[in-house]
Each structure stands twice: as C-alpha cells, then as structure tokens.
Structure 1
Amino acid sequence: MMTMRVEAEPAYRTAAANPYNALLADALVEHGARVRDLSYLRLALGRADIVHLHWPDLTFLSGHRMSIVRARLFFFRNALRLARLRGTRLVWTVHNLESHESRATPVLRERLHRMLVAELDGLLALSASSLELARQRYPELDALPGFVTPHGHYRAAYDWSLDRGRARELLGVPAEGPLVVTVGQIRPYKNIPALLDAFSDVAVSGARLVVAGRPSSAELAEDLRAAADGDPRVVLDLAFQSDERMAWWLRAADLVVLPYRAVLNSGSAILALSADRPVLVPDLGSLTELGEQLGAAWVRTFHGELSSAELSDAIRWATEAGRPVTVDLDPLEWDTVAHQTLEAYSAVREHPRIPVSRRNVPPERQSATGSPIVPIADATLVASPHTSP
C-alpha cells in the first residue's frame, strides 16, 4: 500500500497552543502516512496526495497587513493548481460554521469563500450533525463527498495524575464543596458572563465557581469582573493558563461548564472529559452526539440560555454517587480516528473532481458569500443527495 503524503495546515506548528493537530498527525504517521506542515513551495514542486485544511480563516486571513493576506491566497491557489497536475486533492475539516473572530475585509473573506468552494474535493466533519449543518449553510458544497472523523481525546497529551484533593491544595481552593470550573482562553462566543449570572442565584451549599483563562479583550475582562460583582464564591483567574495549570483546574473540578452562545464542536469539552470530569454544555452542534457517544453520566446538555435552576441541578448531578471513575473514551481513540481519516483521504482521491459549474445549486439555496466554512466527522462516507455514486 502506497504511503499517503499529506500537507496539513496545521500539522505540528500549533502543538503548543492546542495538541489536537499534532495528535492527529502522529496517529496518521503511525498508520504509515507522511504528514508535514503545509509548504507552498513543496506543494508547487513536490508530491502530495492530500492537502488538509482545518481553520482556513486562521490560515489565510490572520494578521493586519492585507498585502500578506492577499499573497497567501495567491500563492496557495497557484501552488495547488500545479499540485493538481500530479493528482493532489484538497479536503477541509469543518471545525466552525463561522469564524470566532472577525478577520480581514469582506472582499478578502469572499475571495477565501470562493476559493474553497471552487477548489475543495471533500469535507471532513467531527459529527454527522456538523456535516449536515455545513451542507445546509454552504449548499455549494453539497456535491462533495463528506466524511465523519471524530475529534480524538487528550488523555495522553496532559498530566492527569493529580487527584481532586491535591489539585485543590496546589490551587489554593477549599478541599470540600462542589467546584464548578470553566477554563481556557475566554472569548465572547464562550458566553462566560452568562455563567456568572446563572451562578449568582445558585443555592447549592458550599458551591464555588472558577473562571480561569485570559480574556480576549480588556472590555471582556471588565464584564467578567462586573458579573462576578464581589461574590466571594467566585474565583476569577484571568490570566494565561499553562497546560499544567489547566490540568490542575480540571482535576480539582466537580463539574466543567461550557455555556457557549453558538458552537459546532468543542475541543474544550473533550479536554474536560479526558480529565474524567463531567460537563454541562448546550445542546448545539456536535455536543448532543458527544453525549450519545460517551453517556449521560458524563455529558449533560441544556437548551437556550443557562439558568440558575439548570446549573444547580447540574451541580447536584455532577456530585452524586455512582459515577464511574473514568470516562470510556474508546469512540475517540486516535487509532480509530486516523483509520477513518485515511479512508476518507483514499475515497476523496478516488472520487472524480466535480467542477463548480456542474454542482447545480438552486438559486434559493445558494449561500451568501463572505463567510468562512464548517466542520464534521466519523469514518464512513456521508452521501449528499447531489453526490455521484
């Protein structure tokens, strides 16, 4: 069997910020693939079977110098066109329906959108619902083959050896009483002020809330302080959290709450579950399916805005006796994810390219341009009604 050569964006270069891509790349390598971070020069002059994009808006639209953004788009598209002469295919894992941060001008965002629509050969998603939502949002991609390739776990990527008591001792929080935690970089879409508001009326005896992470703006930090409003039960640790400190907070927690306003997939939920901590999340995107995969003992969902009553019930649920000590993460094993991803790569390479002119999207289903695109996942081909057999 030939070695699958993959130019991934990213593969290893973002490992310090989020080990997800490096874990995927390592798993693919274990299965015999050759995976490297995308190089435009190597793409133009070398050989690649697959170019795998994860967050196109971050890849192409980040930065403040629009000349650099334009150059990225120009060099990538032209390198890809040369690579296509040697059979290269382009796939995208749809992690988000919208960018979490506004980047570049509407003109450049539209240019990225047009490029992806024209050049993509296949979609990967982290759940079946994500794939369906992506196709609904971007019907120009209906004709492309789509695959579900789940988000693998983080169990081997962090040190989870501390028990609950020792983690609390190191962090300086009380040894007893329910501890609710939300951890990681704080951005508006994560809706943390709503969590603080809901917690203000929680009457569970001894309950405390920790918000640990660096806010994306000074204004958001002020909003969090105002929402906490001097509540002695709330700890605001509004600073960068190292991998070690994030692991401590998660191991100290009884419940991890992620009150997203809008979300398609959540690596933060999988991180908490990798620490063997139950999560409370909205019933959005892939999170409902995550509960079905890992069980009602570990994933609890809420609908709409998080209320104090729902949060109180979730704290009681998280601290009740009878929960297993560890989460069964077999559905998210990297060996399985790599196998499914390689099957998707092979299927995309075997599938004939479908030019945009032959996709026949009805005018009423055409999406507005100017937005980035979406994610999904699991190993089998999820046929679109417009996909050729």
Structure 2
Amino acid sequence: MSGASRPLVVEAEPAFRTAHANPYNARLYVTMAADGCRVHDLSYVRLFTSRVDVVHLHWPELTFLTGRSWRMLARMLLFRAGLRIARWRNGTKLVWTVHNVASHERRATPALRAMHRRLLTEEVDGLLALTEGGLAAARAAYPELADVPGAVTPHGHYRDDYDFSASRDAAREERGIRTDATLVVSVGMIRTYKNIPDLVRTVARADDPSLVLAVAGKPAGDALAAEIRSAAAGDPRVVLDLGFQSDTAMSAWLRAADLVVLPYRAIQNSGSAILALSADRPVVVPRLGAMSELQAIVGDDWVRCYDGEFDADELERSIRWAQSPRPERAPLDRLDWTVISDATLAFYRDVRRGTP
C-alpha cells in the first residue's frame, strides 16, 4: 500500500487513557479510527521500534513536567531521542494542539521549563488550536513557531459522551433542588483560576430568595475547598457538592440548571462551557481567550460574555438573559466530531507532505 493511501499511524499523548476524566481526546481518536487511522496512547518503545507517522501532543506540560525533577528530565530526553529515531526511520512529524499557551500551575524549575520550551519549539512540525484566537495566542507566546504551519480544529461537543435525556424537573428531583428555584450551576474540576469563591460570595450577598447556586466539582486542594465553604457561610441557597463528579451527576447538575456560570480569571478555551452547551444550557463566561469566538459559533442566545468582574449587577443581568426564550437545542453543528476529525487528518497529511 502506498504512503498516500495507507492508514496513518498516530501516537497521541493522551489518546484514550484519560477518557474517564475528559472524553475530548478519546472522542477525537475514536472518530479518527473509524476513518481508518490507527491511534495509540504514546509509547516511547513504539517510537524507537515501530512505524509512526504522527506524534500528537495535547498538554505537554502534564506529560513532561510532573513528578520529581529527575523524572521530568528523563522523560524529555527519552522522548526527544525516540522522536529523532522515528524521524530518521519514518519521517515522523510532531503536531501540538495548543489548548493553553501556559500551564495554570507551575510544577517545574525554571531550567526544566526552559528545556521543555526548547523541546517544543525545536521539534514541533505543526500547530493546532481550538480557535483562531488560540492559534494567534500560541504564535504570540512562542514567536519561535511563527513559521510553523498551523490550523484550527474546534473543540467538539459532548453529546455522545453523557446522558442528557433527563428533564429539568427530573434532574432537580434527583439533585434535591426545588423546581421553582432559579438555579445557577458551576461544574467541573475546581482550580484557583476558575474564581469559584468569588462566585459563591456574590450569590451569598444577593437578596433573591429564589436564587440557588450549585458548585459541583473537586477542588484542587484542601485550602481551596475551605475557602469555598467559608465563602458560602452556611447560606442554604449555596449547595456545595465538592467531590469528584460521575458522568451521571455531572449531567444531572447541568440538566437541572437554568444557567451555567464559569467566572474564570484567566482562560483560553473551556471544555466546561462546551459541556454545558452539550446539555443545552446557556453559559455565562468572561470575555477572555476564545469565549467570544464560542459565542459567535453558537449565538448570543446561548453564550453570554461579560466584561470585568462577575459581581451582583452581572449576576442579575445574567439571570434575566437566561430567562429569555431560546430554542430547546443549542446549535452545535460546527462542533461535530466528524468534521473535526476530517480536518485533523487533513492537517496531518499536509504536515507529512510538507505542503500545509
């Protein structure tokens, strides 16, 4: 079989092993595999010994910059050696999907972070981003990659990964929320940059007795969990479900919601926003990163972007906006996985040919 017609072989980091935490990668590669592509989770052994057409990195800081310093160094050196051998044997190309231009957490020493940067900028053959703004931000953050080919492949929806069939009332019964409440929900892993304590304080200061806030997700550390509980100050309108959320629980919280608020301090892309839209729930986000592009894709009826802080006035405006009439289903055709898979495979082939 000729190189042009045989299936592409891809080593992705990660591919399927993180499906329990975020179905994004697994859904992308399952769709690509259905199109004949052969995809594995990255193996250094296969880099040295097998045919590999493309290595696709997603969050390289999580791949290389975790654990003890000697492990970080060993992983980076081993990866570079394997990639160099694979290039020599197979013409392997390295593609990086830039989800965030910088990690939200700093785990490594400055020297290791500098080495990690060199690894990317010296080896990467193609850049993918989830939005045009994300691609521009990546080039601005990494001017060394100004001439590296790039393309946009959006973040796909989650409609095939969660059961969103429950009605609003049924979901509220399951979660113990009264049907006449105005329910604001914030879901997902809770990290400092997501600004959840301020959201809790804003709701706790509101006078509306019909208002209920549900925060569902596991905080990154006991100190953050304690700050959230302190912000709630025992207010019965604040429901804290501070633990790992099963797929069933996550979908129930979203289907129970009147609106989803994600008051990030800093963000480029948001899987949580895509998840809420997949549940056909309106989303409120700051006008940061790619959120305006997401608003343009699905419409002003479904994504509200605010400027400045999410304060009491913005909470009131967001609730009025969420109560406005809208269709039952969010228009997510442009986030279809088949379209995204086709675009990703086309980019792989262009980078392999050197004709992006």
Q: Alignment partner of 2:292: what SS?
A: helix
Number of aligned residues = 351
Distance (Å, rounded) in 2 between the aligned partners of 1:213 and 1:152: 22
- From 188, 191, 195, the equivalent of 2:192 is 188
Residue of structure 1 aligned with 2:333, choices 324, 330, 345:
330
Q: Which amino acid aligns with 2:328?
A: V
**1:53-202 correspondence to structure 2 within 5 Å:** 53-63=57-67, 65-85=68-88, 86-202=90-206
> CA offsets per residue over residues 22-80 of structure 1, 9 Å max, x none?
000011112221111111110111111110000001011112x2222211111100000
Distance in 1 (alpha carbons) for counterparts of 2:205 and 2:353:
57
1:124 is displaced (CA, Å) by: 0.1
Residue aligned with 2:171, SS: helix
Per-residue deviation at 1:204? 4.2
- Match status 1:348 vs 2:313: no
What is the match of residue 339 of structure 1? 342
Provide the C-alpha distance between the structure 2 equivalents of 1:7 and 1:200, rounded to a whole number of angstroms.
48
Alignment pair present for 1:10 and 2:3? no
Q: Which blocks of at least 5 consecutive residues in structure 1 are unaligned?
A: 353-380, 382-389
Residue 230 of structure 1 and its aligned partner are, at CA, apart by: 2.1
Deviations 1:93-145 (A, max 9, x none): 00012112221222111111111110000100000011001111110110101
Aligned partners of 2:6 and 2:243: how far apart in 1?
47
Match of 2:234 among 226, 230, 233: 230
- Please tell me whether the aligned partners of residues 92 and 123 of structure 1 are also in contact (alpha carbons under 8 angstroms): yes
Give 2:215's match in structure 1, choosing from 189, 211, 214: 211
Give identity over the alignment, percent.
55
Mapped partners of 2:209, 2:332: distance in 1: 32
Post-superposition shift, 1:346?
1.2
1:293 pairs, out of 287, 293, 297, with 297
**What is residue 283 of structure 1 aligned with on the other side?**
287
Contact 1:178–1:319 (CA<8 Å) still a contact in 2? no
Q: Deviation at 1:203?
A: 3.9
Aligned residue for 1:335, secondary structure, equals helix
| Secondary structure of 1:170's aligned partner | helix
Moved runs in structure 1, 4+ residues, more than 2 A?
200-205
Tell me by how many angstroms 1:278 deviates. Answer: 0.4
CA RMSD of aligned residues (A): 1.2
Q: Is the Cα contact below 8 Å between 2:204 and 2:238 reproduced in 1? A: no
User: TM-score, structure 1 length as denominator?
Assistant: 0.88
- Residue type of the alignment partner of 1:8: A
Q: Using the alignment, how far apart are the partners of 1:159 and 1:67 within structure 2?
A: 43
Note the alpha carbon deviations across 1:208-235, whole angstroms, 9 max, x for none: 1011111111111111112112222111
